[in-house]
Amino acid sequence: MDTVPSTFFSSLISSYNITSMSLTFTQPIMHSLSSLLVLGSLAIQAVFSLPDPSRVQEREAEILKRSVDSFIATESPIALRNMLCNIGSDGACVPGAKSGVVIAGPGKANPDYFYTWTRDSALTFKCIVDTFVSSYSASLQTEIENYVTAQAYLQTVSNPSGGLSTGGLGEPKYNADLSAFTGSWGRPQRDGPALRATALITYSKWLINNGYTSTVNSLVWPVIQNDLSYVTQYWNQTGFDLWEEVSGSSFFTVAAQHRALVEGSALAKLLGKTCTYCDSQAPQVLCFLQRFWGSSQGYVIANINQNSGRSGKDANTILGSIHLFDPTATCDATTFQPCSDRALANHKVVTDSFRSIYTINSGIPQGTAVSVGRYPEDSYYGGNPWYLNTLAAAEQLYDALYTWNRQGSITITSTSLAFFKDLVSSAAVGTYASSTSTYTTLYNAVKTYADGYVNVVATYAQSNGSLSEQFSRSNGVPLSAYDLTWSYAAFLTAAERRAAIVPYPWGETTASSVPAVCSYTSAYGTYSTASTGTWPPNQTPISGSPTTTTASGSNPTTTSTASSTSTSAACTPASSVAVTFRETVTTVYGQTIKIAGSVAELGSWNTANAVALSASEYTASSPIWKGTVTFAAGTVIQYKYINVAADGTVTWEKDPNHTYTVPASCATAVTVSNSWQA
């Protein structure tokens, strides 16, 4: 299934020439001062007119939403540009870096981050590939190809951790010219190969979907295969965590390893190959992952098999949860899906651990977003909040909102109850369908809470949009490495999830069964030197950008923005198609737009089973409700939109029914736009 088409990121990419990396900023970022002024006036109004408290909360939430909307609109092009500026050799911020090499940060002193980390690079390019899949860009494609070529070479570089087949893939960082870094460091770090495999698998899926399987076989799969072989051989051995400080078994690392093996095996099958060593080890990695859940503590223990003396409360675990997010999964606790009770309980414990220790969090009540650091015992540069961790706290909640919206319900268990009660004091254990007012209250509360974390970043970002690694726990001043590449990637992925733009599924729904008995073993795969050859030209989308359909009443007209140019062989027709419905309709707070229709996927005309749409893009000038539903190719559907009030009252739009035939073609994603029939 393709990612949800993104007009937002299409306009973002086309808004400037991304091959030009010279940076000049004159437009300041909107900080929270204006929001505070508005909130202050609202408070004065509340004193004199004594409005209904619930209405005050609604208005505060709307003010926050508009503030975050504005920040994201302004920061997004800056974040993308600054991120690309840190990638060689076109990146003007990192002169001397080889082509395709991601530099962690352009600074060479206090601290010196002018190196390339396998982990940071992979997470950065996972963000770039997801953006590329969402909205095709030839410039981004060139960056991706350069990255693959650089990694193929990097795998052959002997280093203090070893060589290609002797453990060298676990080397955490290299010099900007791709030579080995031989200084003292926390090595090995075993998350890098798994994360790199995931980034390259994502691009491979796009290539296969567009008819370029031969390119995957010759240039991408060999790099992936080496990484998968490393994972299956070493997953059961300790190494340093993502913060490079604790040697043991890390939740984030094991989570990345499980995902890589599952989707690596699936990719092998698409290529007519097998990855038996992936298949034998993936269930055991998942089994091991369960050991990180502290059932008595009520949170995920970040690192085990170590003696650091820490509490185990660590943003490592939030980052692991969002990496495991699969847009087709349920709220599965075994894979720590962002909406699962384990992940939500952990979110509360980890973020709460920073409430009392940071001065800038002082006085912020429970259920309101705070600045988030790495772990409460942190002392690096004074142990401050990190932009990327604060954004990860938001992203997990946006992921959860996406799943709840897709499945049409929210479940509260005894494990997650404390999380929900912070947001809605009357929350109780149970399952709440999207047709209920309780669901609406919970959903809106989580959305506002998530926006709060983005607003924290807006508050402490520099006026030119620059995001450093940290910001002061005392006064919010940016600290440590400036223009951290990972910070920009974290912002962009959080913004995508807020807009309900999700990545390819990774196979969670078929890989979440935990073996009855865990076997902590290993398996040996195949290592070989990957090609650094020339990329074929003109690997454009086989049918251009996703088809856009504009429907009015029962007579939709299809407007295709597809390119007619393609140099690939005929593609394999899609068996299923992700249809994104965009409905233009003005609503008031508490109302939810849903889509009901003639097929089971749309509830078979039963309003209780209708699919709720998201208001993530809704503005006063563009009141859009949107949602994505997957249908079998060729399905003919009739449908209508309904407006569900907070009390459950249902209002249907006027006749006639909309009629739409899901295309039976190579397209795996289409968009249908409608306006409310009054």
Which residues carry out catalysis? 241, 244
Handedness of CA 480, 81, 106, 493 (dihedral sign): positive
Query: Contact, 326 vs 340, CB < 8 A?
Result: no
Tokens 């590329």 — which residue? Answer: 132
DSSP H or E stretch at residue 442: helix 437-460
Measured at the CA of 376, the angle between CA 375 and CA 377, to 5 degrees, comes to: 95
Q: Rounded CA gap, 577 and 547, in Å?
A: 11
Sheet (strand 247-250) strand order: 239-240, 247-250, 303-304
Q: Rounded CA gap, 121 and 489, in Å?
A: 10
Tokens 């899906």 — which residue? Answer: 337
* Helix, strand, coil share (%) of the chain residues, nearest 5: 40, 15, 45
516 token code pair: 């009855």
Q: Among candidates 149, 155, 312, which has minimal Cα distance to 226? A: 155
DSSP state of 50: -
Q: Residue 328, Cβ neighbours under 10 Å: how many?
A: 15
Q: Among candidates 157, 184, 187, 155, which has minimal Cα distance to 171? A: 187
214 token code pair: 């031969």
Q: Among candidates 155, 122, 130, 128, which has minimal Cα distance to 144? A: 128
Alpha helices, H only, 461-570: 485-498
Instruction: Enumerate residues 6+ apart whose C-beta is below 8 A from 569.
Output: 211
599 token code pair: 């097929």
DSSP bridge partners of 595: 611, 641
Distances (CA, A) of 279 to 105, 220, 276, 284, 656: 37, 20, 5, 9, 51
For 136, what's the count of Cα atoms within 13 Å in the CB-facing half-sphere?
18
Query: Contact, 452 vs 40, CB < 8 A?
Result: no
Q: Rounded CA gap, 193 and 256, in Å?
A: 9
CA torsion angle 121 123 124 130 (round to 10): 140
DSSP bridge partners of 548: 559, 671
Task: Tell me, letter by letter, the H, E, C secondary structure of 334-399.
Answer: CCCCCCCHHHHHHHHHHHHCCCCCCHHHCCCCCCCCCCCCCCCCCCHHHCCCEHHHHHHHHHHHHH
Q: Among candidates 486, 565, 545, 582, which has minimal Cα distance to 133? A: 545
CA torsion angle 467 470 473 476 (round to 10): -20
